[in-house]
Structure 1
Amino acid sequence: MKKYKKQSLGLLIISLFILPFFLNSYWLDVFTLVLFYVVLTQGLNIVVGYTGLLDLGYAAFFAVGAYTTAILMTTYHWSFWLTLPVAFVCAALSGIIIGTPTLRLRSDYLAIVTLGFGEIVKILATNLEITGSASGIYGIPRPAIGSYILSSQKDFYYLILIVAIISIIAVYRLGRSRIGRAWIYIREDEDAAEAMGINRIRLKLLSYATGAVIGSFAGSIFAVKMSAIAPLSFSFLQSVMILLAVVLGGLGSIPGVVIGAVLVIVLPEILRGADDWRYLIFGVSLVAMMIFRPQGILPSKNGTEDASELDESETNDPKQSVSV
């Protein structure tokens, strides 16, 4: 069974690499946007799917990565690749900042705080001079690999595809690790997890920081792809769409949130011929989905991956501790 899964996964990856040769510029741009959402949903899946922390302001981390890269490249003339570590650190600190006041909050209260954080970042970006105020930042240079400058649609498609693959592997490995299992325990019952020796505070902050870093990675690439960014690109609607993809696909399910990202972006485009009715049809489809399959399209069996896929030595060894 594992052999067939690996073969199918290999064929899928090969198909994604040759896909641009069969698409026109419009659909290539659509699938590039899908890959951006795949990266973003993987980051949010750590926070919402693994740890159970409802986040309505995830687009803020997307913005942190984009603005950090844009400012360093336009104002200080840094190379794109050198801006990435700085963007990761800024995003991780932002995740800790939003995570610290929410450590004792749950449910609706947690959602309100994260929503407020997202709006604060947007307001700051709109009013600060260094971020270009409401006009944003323009003339962001293209990244280069040696003497080759990434400028075409295919270049950015392949760049975000590689980042999407890296993010999926990273989230998958995290889900199978002791940290991932500790996140699941926190999601299921915080008090019981703490009684088992899990450091609830440290793990929650780590969840926010990790999800923020992944979101900032997509933001940095978005900035150089568009060569211009503005506060409107990181609105509350973006956070809702990312969260919708995670919930629609299945909380904690890596393939599920990938499918959710595809549907959230591609379905409205397929319905574009319906003109003003397309968003009504899209909304009704989502409502029907939540009514008849509330667990998501491809839900996780135990919160991350099928337990049968875990190594027996990892699950049966009594010396293995979940204390983190």
Structure 2
Amino acid sequence: MTHFISRHAGLMVLAVLLALLPLVLPNSFYVDVAIRIGINAIVVIGLNLLMGYTGQISLGHAGFFGIGAYASAILTSHFNWPSPLALAAGAAATGVLAFVVARPILRLKGHTLAMATLGLGIIISIVITNEAQYTGGPDGLAVSPLAVFGWELVGERRWYAAIAVLLFLTVWGAVNLIDSPSGRALQAIHGSEIAARVAGIDARRVKVRIFVLSAVIASIAGSLSAHYVGFVTPGIAGFFHSIELVTMVVVGGMASIFGSLAGAALLTVLPQFLSAFEGWETVVLGVILMAVMIFLPRGLVPSLRHGFAKGRG
């Protein structure tokens, strides 16, 4: 019993926080921020599985996010598809694309892999911008509400409940994946791909699978974001959004599922509250991020955990 509690303490705390948070948030603005944190955290968890645990850099994950968002927008607006079916179609299309490109791309390493994924993201962003007949081009496209069997998901409180449940399931799935033999294979590849191969791990297959999984997670989050906001623009698939997602992974903590939550929360909340600096918010944000990486080089959660353990020792 003690082993079970210690192993799942983080999940228990997360469940309690997600349940109590809407009770203490003062108004709909803060609920909206919490929803955006949840959506970003879902994407970042998938990206951290790829980067933090497997050691594969991706600078194009916003492209997968954009595919999901625009799949839901286009299929529901132009073809009158039910929104759950559009979401599933976007996730399936993203998975197929990720599988096709993963095999050649993941043969690369280091900066060449980063450049390849960056190129993929740029291509997706350009296609979305140029296919104005369906995507609306630079002007964007309106998205209908998420409806399941005629019931529409509207209002911040309902959206918060849906995103909170999905976020908890994502964290639970990621934690269990890391604790499984497949998760240990990911970490073995990160440590030394050659040693992992010698140990009998099919490194290419493992990397392709985790790349596809992280891409599908990003696509689903993109679809949910599109339905929640009600509007999509090409910027959500752009380079700067990809950099923002990678920064969330690094600041929160590489190879830390709960670090992904911290990174997503920090980089979603800070721009909201730094707007009071009127034109200097980007500079202030940069200074804060520099301070975090200087004084907490492992990222927020791993550095704090290490400091706490050192203090107890």
Fold shared by both chains (TM-score > 0.5):
yes
Percentage of pairs with the same residue = 34
In the alignment, does 2:270 pair up with 1:236? no
Instruction: Kindly state the Cα deviation for residue 48 of structure 1 after the two structures are TM-superposed.
Output: 0.4
The separation in 2 between residues aligned to 1:200 and 1:11, in whole angstroms, is 34
CA contact (8 A) 1:252 1:300 kept: no
Q: For residue 9 of structure 1, report the CA deviation from its aligned partner.
A: 4.5
Q: State the shift of 1:19 in Å.
A: 2.7
Q: For 2:141 and 2:176, how far apart are their aligned partners in 1?
A: 36
Aligned AA (1:219): G
Q: State how far apart, in whole Å, the 2-side matches of 1:264 and 1:91 are.
A: 26
For 1:164-183, list aligned pairs within 5 A.
164-183=167-186
Q: Distance in 1 between matches of 2:280 and 2:171?
A: 34
CA distance in 2, matches of 1:47, 1:76: 34
Q: Where do 5+ consecutive residues of structure 1 fail to align?
A: 302-324
Which position in structure 2 is the counterpart of 1:322?
Answer: none
| 1:6-61 superposed Cα distances (whole Å, 9 cap, x missing partner) | 56744542442343343312222111111111101011011101111111111011
Superposition pairs of residues 92-171 of structure 1, within 5 angstroms? 92-128=95-131, 129-138=133-142, 140-171=143-174
Could you say if the C-alpha distance between residues 9 and 176 of structure 1 is closer, same or farther in structure 2, counting changes exceeding 3 Å? closer
Q: In structure 2, what is the Cα distance between the partners aligned to 1:276 and 1:42?
A: 31
**Cα distance change on mapping 1:193 and 1:6 into 2, 3 Å:** closer
Runs of 4+ aligned residues of structure 1 deviating over 2 Å after TM superposition are 1-23, 129-137, 144-148, 267-279
Secondary structure of the 2:301 match is: coil
CA contact (8 A) 1:42 1:257 kept: yes
Residue aligned with 1:53, SS: coil
More helix by share: 2
Q: Is the 8 A contact 2:249 2:260 kept in 1?
A: yes
TM-superposed deviation, 1:293: 2.1
Residue 37 (structure 2) pairs with residue 34 (structure 1)? yes
Deviates more, 1:232-241 or 1:201-210: 232-241
Which structure 2 segments of 5+ residues have no match?
305-313
- Give 1:124 shift: 0.3
- CA deviation profile, 1:87-121 (whole Å, cap 9, x unmatched): 22111112223312223211111111111111100
The aligned counterpart of 1:75 is: 78
Q: Scaled by the length of structure 1, what TM-score is found? A: 0.86
- Report the counterpart of residue 59 of structure 1 in structure 2: 62
* 1:111-141 alpha-carbon deviations (Å, 9 max, x no partner): 1111111110000001123323333322x22
Cα 1:118–1:155 shift into 2, 3 Å? same
Contact in 2 for aligned 1:137/1:229 (Cα 8 Å): yes
